[in-house]
């Protein structure tokens, strides 16, 4: 009797909390305010580059990106513009962009991952 309840709860938890999070790694010189503005205005594209890696393109600037599974993460920037004709990005239920700056003159402008 108790086993059925636990199994049902596990299934509900799995469905409720599975969401895809895109981690955007910025390495080098960039203007975080311009990037945030581009994301807010949907002026960007998430795609695969020629080497088969995921990237986010803001105008002529291209940054590497990776997907990770996270539970209950805060959504920062929804991904609305996805160029994925090959289907290699999968179909995330919920997506978001988290900015991680490796080199910047203004680290307080970087949105840190919490969780």
Specify the pLDDT at position 71: 46
Q: What is the pTM of this model?
A: 0.42
pLDDT digits (tens, 9 = 90+) for 53-97: 777 788 788 877 766 544 444 444 445 555 555 555 544 433 445
pLDDT at 98: 56
Alpha helices in 1-115 (DSSP H): 2-17, 32-40
Cα separation, 87 vs 98, whole angstroms = 22
Domain boundaries, the chain: 19-109
Residue closest to 69 by CA, chosen among 49, 93, 86, 53: 93
CA–CA separation, 29 and 94 (whole Å): 29
Q: Which residue has the higher pLDDT, 24 or 43?
A: 43
The residues with which 64 forms a beta bridge, in sequence order, are 55
pLDDT at 103 over 70: no
Per-residue pLDDT, 44:
79
For the ranges 20-24, 66-70, 110-114, the maximum mean pLDDT occurs at: 20-24
Cβ atoms within 10 Å, residue 49: 12
Q: How do 45-48 and 19-26 pair as beta strands?
A: unpaired
> What pLDDT is attached to residue 85?
57
- Cα(48)–Cα(81) distance, rounded to whole angstroms? 13
Q: 68 near 44, Cβ under 8 Å?
A: no
User: Average of pLDDT values for 36-41?
Assistant: 76
Considering only 16-25, 40-49, 59-68, 96-105, which range has the smallest mean pLDDT? 96-105
């Amino acid at each position: 009797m108790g086993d059925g309840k636990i199994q049902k709860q596990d299934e509900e938890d799995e469905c409720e909390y599975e969401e895809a999070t895109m981690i955007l790694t910025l390495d080098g010189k960039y203007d975080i305010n311009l990037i945030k503005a581009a994301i807010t205005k949907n002026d960007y594209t998430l795609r695969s580059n020629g080497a088969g890696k995921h990237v986010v393109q803001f105008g002529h600037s291209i940054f590497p990106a990776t997907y990770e599974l996270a539970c209950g993460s805060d959504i920062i920037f929804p991904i609305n513009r996805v160029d994925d004709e090959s289907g290699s990005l999968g179909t995330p239920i919920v997506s978001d962009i988290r900015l991680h700056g490796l080199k910047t003159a203004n680290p307080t402008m970087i949105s840190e991952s919490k969780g």
